[in-house]
Amino acid sequence: MGQLRIDGNRLWGRLDELAQIGAIPETLGSSRLALTKEDGLARDLVVSWMQQLEMKVSIDAIGNVVGLWHGPDTDRSLLPVMTGSHIDTVRSGGRFDGNLGVLAGLEIIQVIREQNISTKHPIAVSFFTGEEGARFAPDMLGSLVYVGGLDLKTALKTTSVDGKRLGSELEDIGYNGTSPCPGIAPKIFLELHIEQGPVLENEGVDIGAVENVQGISWTELIIEGQSNHAGTTPMEMRKDAGYVAGRISTYIREISNKIGGTQVGTVGKIDLVPNLVNVVASKASMTVDLRNTSEQMLREAEDCLASFCDQIAFQEGVEITNKSLARFEPVEFNQQLVDQVISTAENLGYTTRRITSGAGHDAQMLARVCPSAMIFIPSKEGLSHNPAEYSSPEEITAGANVLLHMIMDAAEVNS
């Protein structure tokens, strides 16, 4: 049993086939924002693969999909061992982020079936709705609803960046299922994912055992100034919402430098009104993404931002309103499972290190209801949320092998 390995070529092939849906021309990347037509087509493909593997597919009311596999001797009354991730992407995303965790789960089911292995516990492979948060906030929305962290009604009313309601978009692609939310807490949850950062590659390490996840704070700021002529308005009389947006953007860098450690901060979105060369902007909307592994330091960063907004609003004569788009405290994974990622990987001959996740993941939601952990593999140049995101077939195979043996162990192979 210790010799068992997944089929890397087959997994690579499925990643490639899935990436064709919403493919970004001349890149390896994909564009499948949550609950778009492309997301719907990708869901159909993955569900068809689950059905080919004779998994029982259920869809819940927020569109999370769970494929359940039973062997001939599986005790269906026991909690399933669950793995999975997501298949939505950011607007210009890669082919590995999320997709790898889902398709590695299917590969594992296929290997287990082919080897006529029977497990005591059922095995579930799931993909969760809207993990990226790029179309509907907050991110990890589907898994958050799955664990009862957000009520279904509120989630269905969420409005997308393009002004659509989540509930109706879900209906449009036919994934408004009937399984209840919150869903059943599995025995354990494991998620294989690319690192999306540079650490493993820089250190030449094969497998990262994810100990914890950074806390995330997303804020939308609306700055109301006064539209005016760019030539005739003296600098000291301006209420320039565009300038204030720029200044907040540079302040976020200052916060990150000041707090240091794992603190990161990003202004990824700025929209000016009327957005013309010769008009002082009357309005700016922008987002601020702050992350830290320490809840205390994350709060400090948030406090700095709030004070700075008050101060610059006063100085520049603008009004600034803020709205929290997402807020998750840092998460610690199950230490026993983290240790087991290390030992399993080392038994398979891979090099390992403990690591922190800078990104949010569905596993951190499942950690609220069951022992959970994550397996990271290297990302080329640390790139992610980018069509150039890349991990090699060997790296992917290594991660999927660790996942295979972790799952077989947790599902308890019948001898």
Q: How far apart are CA 254 and CA 134, in angstroms?
A: 25
With residue 288 as reference, give the H or E element that holds it: strand 283-292
Is 203 a binder of its own copies (CB under 8 A)?
A: no
Out of 88, 169, 191, 195, name the contact with its own copies by CB under 8 A: 195
Distances (CA, A) of 211 to 10, 193, 255, 329, 335: 30, 14, 25, 14, 7
Out of 98, 177, 360, 399, name the contact with its own copies by CB under 8 A: 360
Nearer Cβ to its own copies, position 43 or 239?
239
Q: How far apart are the first and last CA of the chain?
A: 10
3-state secondary structure of 370: coil
3-state secondary structure of 373: strand
Nearer Cβ to its own copies, position 232 or 296?
232
Residues 107-166 that bind its own copies (CB under 8 A): 132-134, 137, 139
Query: Which of the stretches 7-15, 42-50, 366-374, 382-390 binds its own copies when contact is defined by CB under 8 A?
Result: 382-390
The pair of three-digit structure tokens given for residue 227, joined into one six-digit string: 């539209």
Query: Which of the stretches 49-57, 112-120, 377-385, 404-412 binds its own copies when contact is defined by CB under 8 A?
Result: 377-385
Out of 27, 118, 227, 322, name the contact with its own copies by CB under 8 A: 227
Distances (CA, A) of 263 to 271, 301, 314: 25, 8, 27
Is 240 a binder of its own copies (CB under 8 A)?
A: yes
Out of 25, 73, 178, 235, name the contact with its own copies by CB under 8 A: 235
Neighbours of 392 (CB within 10 A): 13
What mask, x for binding its own copies by CB under 8 A, covers residues 270 to 309?
A: xxxxxxxxxxxxx----x-x-x------------------
Query: Which of the stretches 73-81, 146-154, 236-244, 301-309 binds its own copies when contact is defined by CB under 8 A?
Result: 236-244
Is 253 a binder of its own copies (CB under 8 A)?
A: yes
Buried b (16+ CB within 10 A) or exposed e, 269-287: ebebbeeeeebbbbbbbbb
Nearer Cβ to its own copies, position 122 or 138?
138
Nearer Cβ to its own copies, position 235 or 296?
235
Question: Strand pairing of 264-266 and 81-85?
Answer: unpaired
Is 334 a binder of its own copies (CB under 8 A)?
A: no
